[in-house]
């Protein structure tokens, strides 16, 4: 079975089992998702969702973040860890959005990764979830499960991204990544994958291998 055939079969199953798979960071508009994604680095989505309601009420626009007092901003995001760097990057990022992108969140990988604190993973989340364009979000779940199933031999996130782009249909790409997150949290966990309960075990190269 080719990797494309494997994805075709996985899609049929995941679209049923994880039909509701979606972005797990709460947001009401593109800027909020960009900020929440930056805060989620080295932190859980659940913890980020706890602090963003107050954060977005205090800073409703890019201009509010761009002009923020860094100490005050840090006090809102402290519990997400690495708060000093995150606050600094959020302020610089919003200043660039205003100065270089006419206060709009850019939609291309090339533009997004120019923003301070924005790497390929964050950029891909924006491209997929906000602009609904093809995007592979290589987080810890995607990297682990893609390798176990046999869709990539690589561990470097950019190489995994390009490997998956070759075999995942563009219209399914970012949805597939959400489904991998759900599968990783529920079944294909890092330490103890529950292969006996796995809906795609018959398609997986590493079934039963810890």
Look up residue 33 and give its two tokens.
Answer: 């998702």
CA proximity to 125, closest of 65, 190, 174, 74: 174
Which residues are near ligand SF4 by CB under 6 A? 145, 148-149, 187-188, 193-195, 198, 200-201, 204, 206-207
CB of 9 to ligand SF4, least distance (A): 13
Residue with smaller CB distance to ligand SF4, 120 or 148: 148
CB of 8 to ligand SF4, least distance (A): 16
CB of 72 to ligand SF4, least distance (A): 44
Spatial contact of 91 and 65, defined as CB atoms under 8 Å apart: yes
Residue with smaller CB distance to ligand SF4, 51 or 195: 195
Residue with smaller CB distance to ligand SF4, 10 or 62: 10
CA distance 137 to 122: 8
Enzyme catalytic residues: 121, 139
Q: 117: Cβ–Cβ under 8 A, 6 or more apart, which residues?
A: 38, 85, 86, 89, 90, 92, 93
CB of 135 to ligand SF4, least distance (A): 22
Residue 52 exposure: Cα atoms within 13 Å on the Cβ side: 22
């Amino acid at each position: 079975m080719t990797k494309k055939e494997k994805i075709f079969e996985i899609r049929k199953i995941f679209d049923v089992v994880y039909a509701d798979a979606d972005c797990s960071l709460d947001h009401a508009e593109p800027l909020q998702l960009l900020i929440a994604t930056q805060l989620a680095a080295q932190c859980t989505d659940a913890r980020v969702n706890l602090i963003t309601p107050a954060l977005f009420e205090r800073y409703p626009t890019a201009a509010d973040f761009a002009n923020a007092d860094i100490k005050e901003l840090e006090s809102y995001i402290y519990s997400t860890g690495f708060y000093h760097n995150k606050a600094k990057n959020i302020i610089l990022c919003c200043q660039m959005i205003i100065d270089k992108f006419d206060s709009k969140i850019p939609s291309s990988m090339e533009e997004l990764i120019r923003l301070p604190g924005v790497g390929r993973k964050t950029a891909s989340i924006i491209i997929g979830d906000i602009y609904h364009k093809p995007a592979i979000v290589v987080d810890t779940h995607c990297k682990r499960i893609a390798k176990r199933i046999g869709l990539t031999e690589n561990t470097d996130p950019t190489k995994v991204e390009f490997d998956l782009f070759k075999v995942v249909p563009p219209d399914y790409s970012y949805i597939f990544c959400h489904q991998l997150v759900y599968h990783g949290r529920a079944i294909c966990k890092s330490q103890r994958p529950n292969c006996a309960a796995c809906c795609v075990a018959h398609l997986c190269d590493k079934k039963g291998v810890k």
